[in-house]
Structure 1
Amino acid sequence: MKENGRDIVLLAHGDGGALTHELINNLFLRHFESNILKTLTDAAVFSVNEGRMAITTDSFVVDPPFFPGGDVGKLAVCGTVNDLAVSGARPVYLTASFILEEGLPLADLESIVQSMAGACGVAGVEIVTGDTKVVEKGHLDKIFINTTGVGYIFPGVDLGYHRIKPGDKVLVNGSLGQHGIAVLCKRYGFDFAGQVMSDCAPLNGITSLLLKEIRGIKIMRDLTRGGLATTAKEIASACGLDIWLDENCIPVDAGVKGAAEMLGLDPLYLANEGKFMVIVSPEEAEKAVAVMQGHELGRDASIIGEVKPGKGNVYLSTSLGGTKLLDLMAGSPLPRIC
């Protein structure tokens, strides 16, 4: 069936019949190249290695589904890969389940699936099983994607709040707030000079390099919803120590800074999809920065703060010479950014 001259998703694409099989064989299998997936059995069967494994799951409902620098498909792959990567794992397999709104153009769905396949190629992971459901028009906003990721924890890696000590340094791999601003601008039609692009990217390449070269990594976290400030507060609360951040050292590019100032937003609370925070022993902090800067996703890496004795608070030394208490984000200044 066509709508405005375009082939669209029909309810029958989700009923398990001929159109479902056509969608699977002619669209999903054409882009997701996996011998495990091609068996089309009720469960993916694969071999496992000795050691510890990590598993994570997430759902992606970003509005709009296409934005500068990415789309909901790329976001789904990168978001799941990154959750595994910052947990000290090598991502290997993903699942992908789609909930589609009746009337979604099939060309849009194919573009999203192509984007997912491209992100899988960059990250070196396979989509090995999945599911598709279609709901009536008006009961969903275009497309929702759920992914589950499986990976192997690198031997000898032990990351966790229990390892953090006073004196440890806080690092980030680059400029903050790009994803949040990119989605906002696309959603509301803001046209800032030098349009900000989402930083959406798989982080497993840079995190695996860091884990190989630096033994003193205490914890890593990707800076998604709530941004740097919320993530830092979560870590400080969990370990019962204070984190002091230096505003002058936190990288925020001019486009994000200008847009955030105009819209009354704080870049430290904006979402990122290709940035992560690392807490590392002080004697290896400079080496860690150098390792990160040697990777394309860490060229603007820097030391932005330090862990100190305290009671689980986060403080920002401002560029004006003052001190600001940072807490968890209250509410959501930009809903549906992932």
Structure 2
Amino acid sequence: MNMAAPITRLRGETVTLAHGGGGRAMRDLIDEIFVAAFRPDAMEDQARLTHAALAKPGARLAFTTDSFVVTPLEFPGGDIGTLAVCGTVNDLAAGGAEPLWLSASFIIEEGMPFATLRRIVASMVREAAAAGVRIATGDTKVVERGSADGLFITTSGVGVIRAGRDLRAERIREGDVALVNGVLADHGATILAARGDLMVSTDIASDCRPLNGVMEAVLAAAPNARAARDATRGGLASALNEMAETAGVSVELDEAALPIRAEVKGVCEILGLDPLDLANEGALVVFVPTDEAESALAAMRAVPGGEDACAVGRAVTRGPVPVTMRTAFGGARIVDMLVGEQLPRIC
């Protein structure tokens, strides 16, 4: 039987300024690309949210927002839509929240191909389903050609923190163990290679993924977990420096324990970069008490996204610098925060 092609009111192959003008063209863009994918409950100017978790005694709301500006828009292992969902989900998860709802705002440059936009939206639907969240509301704007590097996305997220959970960097204590859920620096190295202007070619793919499943596993196995942070811009180095400064401790890393691919180390050596400064989009660091470290590691390794979990260091008495690393040669070096902009438009 011959199936007719789906009826579309969109004309041409790219977004035009008319698609941001508030009229029929804009409604066609929203209906055929966004509403068709996200399937909102109603076409109102706000989402109306209800969830059983909100009714439980002691439950608290968590709220976060982030903007995503990456070049190129599509890269091995993901695209800007993947980042927009996973980045916001992970910010909620690292605070101990169960992510529930997202908003998504799109700044679209005139000339954006509809086909590219559809692929990015499809990625957002897929990642939201994997994380168990609903994209509940959103907005679109169209700007003149050359004003937005193709596409910018802002997502905000709302989640629920169960009673009794209290993940804060200031709770880290001397002796606590620092755990990571998997390999580091893959995203930053992937973007470097995908841009093509550095003449670097690798088979590395971004680690972009939702981490709420990993965090739930950790919290079930290590109920006294102190704090967690997803190591995005600035990499593990910046995340640990921020946490150590807040907690009033120092962190000592073990270079031999750091899970970094040989290919990533090679790229960094060629370009004079430190892998600990490279962005991650599917890696988090969590501090747990020593007596809960092994159970937390076992729990992480049993869920998707945590298979390569390992202990990379521990909190120690505050010293002259927040973070140091024992090197493979038996010495020590300072691990400072990223200074300046290593890679613009990376997440």
Give TM class, smaller chain: over 0.9
- Identify the range of structure 1 (68-77 vs 261-270) with the bigger mean alpha-carbon deviation: 261-270
**CA positional deviation for 1:189:** 5.0
Compared with structure 1, are the counterparts of its residues 34 and 251 closer, same or farther at alpha carbon in structure 2 (3 Å cutoff)? Answer: same
**CA positional deviation for 1:194:** 4.9
Q: For residues 308 and 221 of structure 2, what CA distance do their matches in structure 1 show?
A: 18
**What's 1:165 paired with?**
173
RMSD (CA atoms): 1.4
**CA positional deviation for 1:205:** 1.0
**CA positional deviation for 1:192:** 5.3
Does residue 1:328 correspond to 2:328, yes or no?
no
**CA positional deviation for 1:162:** 2.8
Deviant stretches of 4+, over 3 Å: 189-194
**What's 1:16 paired with?**
22
Q: Which amino acid aligns with 2:299?
A: V
Does residue 1:262 correspond to 2:270, yes or no?
yes
* CA displacement, residues 1-41 of structure 1 (integer Å, 9 cap, x when unaligned): xxxx9600010111111011111111111111332xxx111
Does residue 1:247 correspond to 2:255, yes or no?
yes
Q: For residues 286 and 125 of structure 2, what CA distance do their matches in structure 1 show?
A: 28
Q: For residues 320 and 77 of structure 1, what CA distance do their matches in structure 2 show?
A: 40
Q: For residues 334 and 201 of structure 2, what CA distance do their matches in structure 1 show?
A: 32
Q: For residues 322 and 69 of structure 2, what CA distance do their matches in structure 1 show?
A: 32
- Identify the range of structure 1 (148-157 vs 80-89) with the bigger mean alpha-carbon deviation: 148-157
**CA positional deviation for 1:248:** 0.5
Does residue 1:40 correspond to 2:46, yes or no?
no
Give the TM-score normalised by the residue count of structure 2: 0.92
Does residue 1:303 correspond to 2:306, yes or no?
no
* Contact 2:88-2:155 within 8 A present in 1 as well: yes
Of 93, 105, 113, the match for 1:105: 113
**CA positional deviation for 1:188:** 2.3
**What's 2:289 paired with?**
281
* Contact 1:7-1:107 within 8 A present in 2 as well: yes
Identity of aligned residues (%): 47
Structure 2 runs not aligned, ≥5 long: 1-10
Matched residue count? 331
* CA displacement, residues 147-203 of structure 1 (integer Å, 9 cap, x when unaligned): 000000123211112321111111101110000000110112567565110000000
Q: For residues 128 and 226 of structure 1, what CA distance do their matches in structure 2 show?
A: 30
**CA positional deviation for 1:56:** 0.2
* CA displacement, residues 27-66 of structure 1 (integer Å, 9 cap, x when unaligned): 111111332xxx1111111125132010000000111111
* Contact 2:189-2:264 within 8 A present in 1 as well: yes
Q: Which amino acid aligns with 1:142?
A: G
- Identify the range of structure 1 (303-312 vs 235-244) with the bigger mean alpha-carbon deviation: 303-312
Compared with structure 1, are the counterparts of its residues 221 and 25 closer, same or farther at alpha carbon in structure 2 (3 Å cutoff)? Answer: same
Q: For residues 253 and 283 of structure 2, what CA distance do their matches in structure 1 show?
A: 16
Where 2:312 maps in the other structure, the secondary structure is strand
